[in-house]
Amino acid sequence: MEQATSLILIAMAAFCLPLIAGRLRTPAVVLELLFGICVGPLTGLIHGSELLDLLARLGLFLLMFLAGFEIDVRALERQGHHRLLMLVGVFLLTLVVAHWFTARLGYGAFMTLVLATTSVGLVVPTLRNTRRTATRLGQYVLISAIMADFLTLVLVAVLALVERHGVSLELLQMPALFIAVIVVLRSLRLAVWWFPERFRRLFSTDDPEELGMRAALALMLVFVGLSIALDIEPILGAFLAGSVFAVVFRSRGVLEHQLSGFSYGFLIPIFFINVGLRFEITLLRDPAILGQALAIIGAAFAVKIIPSLVFAFRGFKMREVLAAGVLLSARLSLIIAVATVGVELGFLTNQERAIAILLAAVSSTVAPTAFRALAPPLPPDPAT
């Protein structure tokens, strides 16, 4: 009976919370986290269960798959090698600055990766809403966010391998995964080249078998399974599966909306609600821990704004530089996923994950709003 009640409450929340979030102009994820906290640690209406954990795990994999799915390959191709290398340098500088802050605050190396994350899922809609996606500033911010997501996940997976096996031959499992990715990528490209008419069915709007959905989910589960077999964090496999799909199929049409609807409509909200259910609310009643949380939030903005100063050497005005750094400070889904993995691996405590979740809630609300205020105004849209 308790499990049935939990599913009913979560199903109602998954439907209603986005409507409320739209009214409040805040990401639905924030309300899903708060809902999980309210019905879990605060009131005890819902308790964690194996079924919820399984659904949440699937939601996490879909979240990572869609993060890779969001990669704009055309935007990457428009960047020259020199610009891409410069943006990789910005990410490395972010790691250096993040390590400096985390060391001063008494945290371990994994918290450095937590602070290095950003949120493509927030950067993309913010740039679109402000008509800046195609601008030079928008392209710099977009590619920086994509690189931060991808490189952070790779470093998390490497750190997990080192923790499990030490510096040994098992580290070769990482290049083995990337070799598999390249083989699948090339094979799919050849198949699409030779049999384009067969692959068009994947994006058909009236396919009763929904082969597009099946192909995307199958690819995700294959890469997740391969990652597990190689003892690599499966969230990296899910992310790489989405990236391969984005590279092979540039125009995904209705399939992208179907995948997003299926994932964000139920399984991904369960992941965030489940995170709220596991939230250690008692930790934040300690003034000392709240002080640490405020320090981490301040550091989280600094580790993105300071490296973004490099953009000033590329001809951007200081106002644009600050706007870029603030938007890249937006963290949401990836930071929660990374913090969850950190707890599972023993790199983070529940207290540190609670701080990361609080950081996600604050930065996802503040950063897009601050970007709109800081970014120089654009000329009126002729279409309006």
- Note the pLDDT of residue 119: 83
- What are the structural domains, with CATH classification, of the chain? 2-374 (1.20.1530.20)
CA-wise closest residue to 231 among 166, 169, 155, 164: 164
- Note the pLDDT of residue 124: 78
Q: CB neighbours of 254 closer than 8 A, spacing ≥ 6?
A: 203, 205
> CA separation (Å) from 228 to 143, 225, 238, 374?
29, 5, 11, 44
- Note the pLDDT of residue 77: 66
CB count in 10 Å sphere of residue 32? 25
Alpha carbons 95 and 384: distance in angstroms, whole number = 42
Q: Taking a C-beta distance cutoff of 8 angstroms, is the pair 231, 161 a contact? A: yes
In eight-state DSSP terms, residue 171 is: G
Token digits of residue 60: 């996490």
Q: What is the mean pLDDT of each run of 10 residues along the chain (384 residues)?
A: 79 87 79 88 83 88 83 67 84 95 92 90 79 83 88 90 82 90 90 80 70 86 93 89 84 74 84 84 78 93 95 91 94 86 89 89 87 79 52
Alpha carbons 146 and 185: distance in angstroms, whole number = 19
Q: Where are the alpha helices (DSSP H) in the chain?
A: 2-24, 28-37, 50-69, 73-78, 81-105, 109-116, 120-129, 136-165, 173-194, 196-199, 211-229, 234-248, 253-262, 268-277, 287-308, 318-328, 333-345, 350-374
- Residue 8 identity (one-letter amino acid): I
Alpha carbons 194 and 376: distance in angstroms, whole number = 47
In eight-state DSSP terms, residue 108 is: -
Instruction: For tokens 């990337």, name the residue.
Output: 178
SS3 sequence of 260-327: HHHHHHHHHHHHHHHHHHCCCHHHHHCHHHHHHHHHHHHHHHHHHHHHHHHHHHHCCCHHHHHHHHHH
Token digits of residue 227: 């990652």
In whole angstroms, how large is the CA radius of gyration of the chain?
21
